[in-house]
Homo-oligomer: A and B are copies of this chain.
Amino acid sequence: MENFSFYLPTIVHFGKGQISSLGASIKQFGGSKVLLAYGGGSIKANGIYNAVVAALKKANIPFVDCDGIKPNPPVEDVNRGIKLYRDNGCDFILAVGGGSTIDACKAMAAGVCYDGDVMDLMAGGKGEIKTAAPLAAVLTMAGTGSELDLGGVITAGADHKKHTIMHPLLYPKFSILDPTYTFSVPEKHSMAGSFDALDHLIECYFIAGSESTDVQNMMNEGLMRSIVKNAPLILENPENYDARANIMWASSMALASFQFALGKKGSNWPMHAMGHELSSLYDMTHGVTLALIAPSYLAFTLEKAPEYTWLFANFARNVFGVVETDDALAAKMGIAKLKEFTLTLKMPNNLKEVGVEEDKLEYLAEKATEWGNIGALCKIEKDEALEIYKNAFA
C-alpha cells in the first residue's frame, strides 16, 4: 500500500428536517451575513428555498441572493458571486443545490479572499489559495459528492474547458443532507447523479496498485453494490425515503476525501476527463457522459491491462453478483452488467443517439488528453481515447 494522508473535516447533518440545524451551524463558524447561492427556480418551486430562508430568518442571519448558477458552472457565475459577496459585506457562503452550485461556491470562497482573477486559483494556475471564506452546503441533488470534498470544477473560455479548483480550505464547514430534498429531482437527473457516484467509485477501483488495498477495494465494492440496489428503487418510486437516503449517503461516501483511491498509485480520473469533454462541447449532463464512456473505457482497459483481469473479475462478482469462476469470462460479464445497468437507469445507449457527431471524436480525444496520459491501469493517450470514444459511439 502506498503512503497517503486523509482529512475529512466537513460536519454532516443527515436526514429529514435537518435544516433546523442551519442557523446554529452557520453561527458556529462565525457567519453573520450569508451569500445564498443557488441555481434555477426549482428550489423555489419545491419549497426548499422557503425552508432555507425561514431557517436563516429564525436565526436572525441576513442574506443576499445569488441565483441562477448554471450547470457545469461557468466562471462568469463565480465572478458574479464574488462581487455580490464583497459588495454586500458577506462573511459566509451557503450553497443550496447540487454539485454545480457547490462547486461554484467553492471557487467563490477562494476568490473572495484573492486579489486577482479567480482563474489563477485553478489547478496549474499562477495563484495560490492561502485563505478562503467559510462555506456550507444544503444538498438538493445526490451524485457529485461535492458536499463532502475539497474540490470543484469550473467551466471557462471559448472552448468551455473544465478547470479544477482544489484546497483543504474549500471543504464545506458543514453539509445538510435531507433525502426528502431530492424527492422532486427529475428522473433523468436522479439517475445521472446515481451513475456519477457509481463512476467515482469505478474510477477509484480500477487504479494501479489495487493489489495491496483490500480495505479500500472491498469497502468500495460494498458501496457500489448499494448504488446498484437502490438507484432502480428510485425509478420505481421517487419518494422512497430509504432509497433516496442510501443514494445520497452513497454519493457523499463515494467521494469523501477520495477515500477509495487512498494507498493506490494515483489516478487522473480518465472517464471523467473524457466525459468532461462531451459536456464542454455538447453541454451534456455530467452523469450521462460517464454512463456513455464507462463501459467502453473499461472494455478497452481490460484488453490493454490483462494483468488486472482479477480486479475486473472481483468487480463482476462482488458488485454485480456474477458467479462465473473463470476470471477472464467473469471480467467481461462484469462490464456487460455495468452496460446493462446504465440502460436500467434509462441512460442513452451510445454517443450517436445523443447527437454527438462522429467527426468530432478526434477533437474530443485530443482535448481529453491534452495534458498527457490519463490512464489509471494502462496508457490512455490521444489514440487510445479516440478508440474508447469510437467504441462508445454506436
**Chain A residues in contact with chain B, CB under 8 A?**
1-9, 11-18, 179, 211-223, 225-226, 229-230, 241-242, 245-246, 249-250, 253, 262-263, 318
Q: Are B3 and A14 in contact (CB under 8 A)?
A: yes
Closest to A211 in B: B242
Complex partner residue of A214 from B230, B262, B263, CB under 8 angstroms? B230
User: A1: which of B4, B216, B241, B263 is its contact (CB, 8 Å)?
Assistant: B241
CB distance from A68 to the nearest CB of B (A): 31
- Determine whether the beta carbon of A13 is less than 8 Å from that of B5: yes
Of the listed residues A241, A249, A263, the one surrounded by the most CB atoms of chain B closer than 10 A to its CB is A249
* CB of A324 to closest CB in B, whole Å: 14
Chain B nearest Cβ from A207, distance in angstroms: 15
B5 and A14: CB pair below 8 A? Answer: yes
Bound CA–CA A262/B6 (angstroms): 20
What are the residues of chain B within 8 A of A179 when measuring CB–CB?
1
A321-B76 Cα distance, complex, nearest whole Å:
53
Contact status of A215 and B226, CB under 8 A, knowing A3-B16, A263-B249: yes
CB-CB under 8 A from A223, the residues of chain B are 215, 218-219, 222
- Most-contacted residue by chain B among A6, A221, A263 (CB, 10 A): A6
Contact among B4, B14, B213 with A15 in the assembled complex (CB-CB below 8 Å):
B4
Are B214 and A246 in contact, with the CB atoms below 8 A? yes
B11–A249 contact, CB under 8 A? no
Besides the known contacts A219-B226, A222-B223, A249-B263, 8 further A-B residue pairs in the complex with CB atoms under 8 A apart: A2-B15, A6-B14, A8-B9, A14-B263, A214-B246, A215-B226, A215-B246, A219-B253
CB–CB A12/B7 < 8 A: yes
Are A245 and B5 in contact, CB atoms less than 8 angstroms apart? no
Give complex CA distance A12, B262 in Å: 11
Given B13, B214, B226, B249, which contacts A226 in the complex, CB threshold below 8 Å?
A: B214
Give chain B nearest CB distance to A284 CB in angstroms: 28
Q: A124 to chain B: closest CB distance in Å?
A: 26
In whole angstroms, how far apart are the Cα atoms of A213 and B253 in the complex? 13
Contacts of A222 in B (CB 8 A): 217-223, 318
Q: What B residues does A15 contact at CB under 8 A?
A: 1-4, 263
What would 16 A/B residue contacts be, using CB atoms closer than 8 Å? Answer: A1-B241, A1-B245, A1-B246, A3-B17, A5-B11, A5-B12, A6-B14, A14-B262, A212-B246, A214-B226, A214-B229, A214-B230, A215-B226, A215-B253, A216-B249, A219-B223
> What is the CA–CA distance of A217 and B216 in the complex, to the nearest angstrom?
15
Name the one of B1, B3, B18, B318 contacting A242, with C-beta atoms under 8 angstroms. Answer: B1
Least Cβ–Cβ distance between A142 and chain B, in angstroms: 11
| CB-defined contacts of A7 to chain B, threshold 8 Å | 11-12
- For the complex formed, measure the closest distance between the CB of A234 and the CB atoms of chain B, giving whole angstroms: 13
Please state if B6 and A12 are interface contacts (CB–CB under 8 Å): yes
Task: Please report the C-alpha to C-alpha distance between residue A2 and residue B262 in the assembled complex, in whole angstroms.
Answer: 29
Task: Give the docked Cα–Cα distance between A5 and B177 (Å).
Answer: 10
CB distance from A77 to the nearest CB of B (A): 30
Residues on B with C-beta less than 8 A from A212 are 242, 245-246
Q: How far is the CA of A222 from the CA of B222 in the complex (A)?
A: 6
Which residues of the other chain, B, contact A16 by a CB distance below 8 angstroms?
3
The interface residues of chain B lying within 8 Å CB-to-CB of A250 are 215
- Cβ of A2: which chain B residues have Cβ within 8 Å of it? 15
